[in-house]
Amino acid sequence: MDADDGGIKKDFSTAILERKKAPNRLLADDGEGAVVPDNSTVALSPAAMEQLGIYIGDLVLLRGKRRRETVCYALPDGSCPEGRVRAGRGVRANLRVKLGDVVTVNRRAVAPPNGTRVQVTPFEDSVDGISGDLFEAYLKPYFRDYLRPLCKGDTFVVRGNMRAVEFKVVATEPADCVLVAADTAIFCNSDEPIKREDEERLDGPGYDDVGGVRKQLAQIRELVELPLRHPKLFQTLGVKPPKGILLYGPPGTGKTLLARAIASESGAHFVVVNGPEIMSKMAGESEANLRKVFEDAERFAPSIIFMDEIDAIAPNRDKTHGEVERRVVSQLLTLMDGLRPRAQVVVIGATNRPNSLDPALRRFGRFDKELDIGVPDEVGRLEILRIHSKDMPLSDDVDLERVGKDTHGFVGADLAALCSEAAFQLIREKMDVIDVEDETIDVDVLNSLRVCNDHLKHAMEV
């Protein structure tokens, strides 16, 4: 199948180009690349900019699903593939599009008017436990020096002060879309934060939350996301997408995170099956549980079934003496074989010990793709450190590259723990200004917090 992958990819891109009738209908791509789009920018290939008559920094009207529209600045990005528009998660959420969905991009001939008044309200879950002046701490710096476009109904995330706060644009005057200028009055109703409606939740981790696994991410997206999102394409080409993929590597390298990211970015239903847990159930129940998992996955398809520690569910039958194990392995094989090619269900198995799996499971038509999620190298560690410190205010003396060099052998989970330990160390030092008895912490105190080199050093030693 390996040789086919290149073919699938190539055919996919041409198939998409053929389906796309107008040059301004582009497919949403993620935020990575030379330009990192934020809440107010998107990036296009220089060729697309030229074709659509868009100049650097022009405002563009983006239209997504459910008639959702928003306005952003457009920037050229040589690494943006043709036919794509790079938009961060916030912009994609405002447009209600997932990666690969069509976004219509039009240059705005007339800029939106400067706002006289805008009203924003934070989401309750993002300000839980903090108090003080959100305007000074979050909104003022966010809007300073930047004529950001804001459309009524949009949400935007402002990062900083150890927290990312998400706001909703409740009202804008004098139009539904305005530019926030120096004289725009910004009202922030932080006393009555909005409860989040389910559909608005930016569920689960995104691809930008997984670091150091660029190659594996590309492979898994091709193997899982493409077939889940565009089953027709595979049917047309007469290729059967894989039913199962095996991720192997030491604990804490991000196998679960990767599977979750694939599910949330592709909008698939996600079910976790924990190997040891399912096996510890009463005899007979393990098989029934497994059947139920597959039934539900088909019912809520497209679905991803994630089997953590799959070696516990499907050990080599020649080497195991347990009757239960043998039955469960056969059950799993039957269920995988029984998955209809059009069911849009993919099983991702994770294991630390691929060789202890029953070999029948690794044959063609079952878990026939294997990806090595190894211990990250220096570059990977730096990527992961950046991810886990992105909401942390870092002092100028912090050199993440140095930390990346000094953490040989650390896996993703270790680096995540390192960052949170550094933050805890800082908090311990600041206990004199933090009152544990208080319900909330003042944003001025939060504002003064900086994680510095010593905190990270301390964290490396624990």
Binding site for ligand ADP (CB under 6 A): 210-213, 251-257, 350, 384, 387, 412-413, 416
**Closest approach of Cβ 309 to ligand ADP, in Å?**
9
Torsion of CA 221, 227, 232, 238, to 10 degrees: 110
* Alpha carbon distances (Å) from 198 to 37, 195, 304: 25, 9, 21
Chain-centroid distance, C-alpha 288: 32
- CB closer to ligand ADP out of 108 and 159: 159
- CB closer to ligand ADP out of 37 and 412: 412
What's the CA gap between 447 and 431, in Å, rounded?
A: 15
- CB closer to ligand ADP out of 120 and 246: 246
Q: What radius of gyration, in Å, describes the C-alpha atoms of the chain? A: 24
Using an 8 Å Cβ cutoff, are 341 and 173 in contact?
Answer: no
Q: Torsions phi, psi of 212, nearest 5?
A: 75, 10
Residues present in the chain in total: 462
- Residue 186: closest CA among 90, 122, 128, 123: 122
The tokens for 271 are 């079910």
- CB closer to ligand ADP out of 211 and 393: 211
**Closest approach of Cβ 412 to ligand ADP, in Å?**
2
> How big is the CA angle at 66 (ends 63 and 67), to the nearest 5 degrees?
40
**Closest approach of Cβ 272 to ligand ADP, in Å?**
10
- CB closer to ligand ADP out of 384 and 398: 384
**Closest approach of Cβ 415 to ligand ADP, in Å?**
7
**Closest approach of Cβ 124 to ligand ADP, in Å?**
24
- CB closer to ligand ADP out of 212 and 244: 212
**Closest approach of Cβ 456 to ligand ADP, in Å?**
17
The tokens for 5 are 């992958």
The tokens for 357 are 């799996």
Give the 3-state secondary structure of residue 355: helix
What's the CA gap between 44 and 91, in Å, rounded?
A: 14
**Closest approach of Cβ 441 to ligand ADP, in Å?**
24
Residue of closest CB approach to ligand ADP: 412
- CB closer to ligand ADP out of 122 and 212: 212
